[in-house]
């Protein structure tokens, strides 16, 4: 049980670390992005880049969670649910800043991409050892 909870916490933290690094890369390499970031007046390519960062972060969170939880699918599902629930109020507050498709893609993709990260890492298929 402790391993499951720790894996979920680590998965959520991993999501934010990967997303932060991804956003930093975007900021350092795209001056136009920096110019509109505070107003959130992103162009279509900028929104797609943000969604790509989220996708990579979700894959990483799923992979790390599965690895720590030794393939426990419930832990991976837990991190996907926690991340989705964390972002619903954030996207509600940003509702008028982005088009509907952006919110939908972001919120709908978190859970399946987290599961995909676990699956692609190979950790989701590994049975937990018997204690």
Tens digits of per-residue pLDDT, 6-39? 999 999 999 999 999 999 999 999 999 999 999 9
pLDDT at 1: 86
In this prediction, the residues of the chain whose per-residue pLDDT falls under 50 are: 127-131
- Tell me how far apart the alpha carbons of residues 88 and 103 are, in angstroms, rounded to a whole number: 9
Is the Cβ–Cβ distance between 1 and 8 less than 8 Å?
no
21 burial (CB, 10 Å; 0-12 / 13-18 / 19+) is middle
pLDDT at 124: 63
pLDDT at 109: 98
pLDDT at 130: 42
- Tell me how far apart the alpha carbons of residues 36 and 86 are, in angstroms, rounded to a whole number: 25
Interaxial angle between packed helices 44-68 and 73-93, expressed in degrees from 0 to 180 and rounded to the nearest 10: 150
pLDDT at 35: 97
Is the Cβ–Cβ distance between 113 and 105 less than 8 Å?
no
- Which residues 6+ apart lie within 8 Å of 94 measured at CB? 40, 103
Domain boundaries, the chain: 2-125
């Amino acid at each position: 049980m402790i391993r499951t909870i720790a894996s979920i916490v680590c998965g959520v933290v991993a999501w934010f670390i990967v997303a932060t690094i991804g956003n930093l890369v975007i900021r350092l390499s795209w001056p136009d992005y920096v110019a509109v970031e505070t107003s959130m007046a992103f162009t279509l390519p900028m929104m797609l880049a943000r969604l790509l960062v989220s996708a990579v972060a979700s894959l990483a969170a799923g992979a790390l969670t599965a690895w720590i939880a030794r393939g426990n699918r419930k832990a991976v599902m837990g991190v996907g649910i926690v991340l989705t629930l964390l972002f619903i109020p954030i996207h509600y507050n940003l509702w008028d800043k982005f088009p509907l498709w952006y919110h939908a893609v972001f919120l709908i993709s978190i859970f399946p991409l987290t599961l995909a990260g676990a699956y692609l890492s190979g950790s989701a298929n590994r049975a937990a050892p018997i204690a």
